[in-house]
Structure 1
Amino acid sequence: MTSWSMHPRAAFDLETTGKDPREARIVTASIVLVDHGGTVVERFEWLADPGVDIPEEAAAIHGITTAHAQANGQFADVVAAEVAAVLAVLFAHGIPVIAFNASYDFTVLAHEARRHQLEQITPAPVIDPFICHKKMEKYRKGSRTLVALCEEYAIDLMDAHTSAADAEATLRLADALAAKHSALRADVTELHATQVEWAREQAADFQEYLRRTKDPAAVVEGDWPVLPPRS
């Protein structure tokens, strides 16, 4: 059996209004689809008017201001629906969708769907280079941001923090990780299920560390690839 990294695969990335995935609104979204050899065969890109002001600190990262989004973006519900529709087709065909720190992007999308009363999708199979790298290279020191890992694996990342560039770089990073670690070349359905467990273990380990060193009441959520609504 050949690795998923030798079959069609896609990558997904969002730029948003903030850090909390349950509150953040989509500003830009990108999905990149490649063929078995890694050649880009289709790109999907969206700019949304999120319906709220884009904080200056968020605009400083991705470059989209409130005025630009209002003047040029589609309605937020239209973007959320179109993004979900493309992802749903990919998942229905068994094409893995690669997302860096997937629980952020898919949680944002899930909450946008709730906000606009849209149908929810079930994100699977998903491959998350952030979760995979933490498992395969547990004792590596230093930053594990997309920028840092792309530097480590010599992957070009021009225009970092734009959803289009980040999506393609995420896909190339996943390919590089699979080439290095045979455990990641599993069947995508099995790999998805395994990442659910890895994410839970990693969250528990980090929570234990925080409670021991900084905050006895720290809570680190381990749900993946979507965080549940707040109760």
Structure 2
Amino acid sequence: MRTGAHGRRADLDTDATGRWSLVVPLKPLALAKSRLAGAAGGIPRPQLALAFAQDTVAAALTCSEVRDVAVVTDDPVAGAELSALGARIVPDLPAAGLNAALAHGARAVRSVRADAAVAALNADLPALRPSELARVLSYARGFSRAFLPDAAGIGTTLLTATEGVELRPAFGGPSRRRHSASGAVEIPLGDVVSVRQDVDAPTDLTAALALGVGPRTTALLAPCPAAPCP
């Protein structure tokens, strides 16, 4: 059984009970974060996307409510780096899109452990705090499906499905409305901003930096500690 650089198993944990398996989608790094082009002093977008994903996965793996993390990606660099952190890498479906990738990842998790509770989590949460993620996942336990809206109040950063319940992801654009219409319960917790602060645009990056980002994003943006460089 493979282990990551920090001793965590890179396969799904079949022993722990009562915790969540996270599914994190990550498109090829060369295609990621197009709206950040020119932000952060011209740091290449693939490097930003990888640092965000590394900080997201590393934080998630230390969350008390998380059993294991499966990253759905076909990017070989991202796959190697995130596997080293302890994530299981699930090859993406060719040109299938975000929601198909998430459904595919959930199936991969449940092919190993049929009774898994699964949660889809964005890969661009570089300020993610394990304690806040734990609060969100603990709250979600009370509902068959639940979701957390993003900081803008339009999209979604996390969608959960308890044991035996289909995930039914509808991410992208105004997904808050779609997930609500699908019957998922909106998680009303207020003080979990790090789980809501995804990074799509330069203003999002400024907000994430103000919260305090993880070590890989911090190191990458060292010349710009407070906001994106002009």
Larger Rg: 1
Greater per-residue helix proportion: 1
Instruction: State the TM bucket, normalised to the shorter chain.
Output: under 0.3
Give the TM-score of the pair, scaled to structure 1: 0.26
Give the TM-score of the pair, scaled to structure 2: 0.26
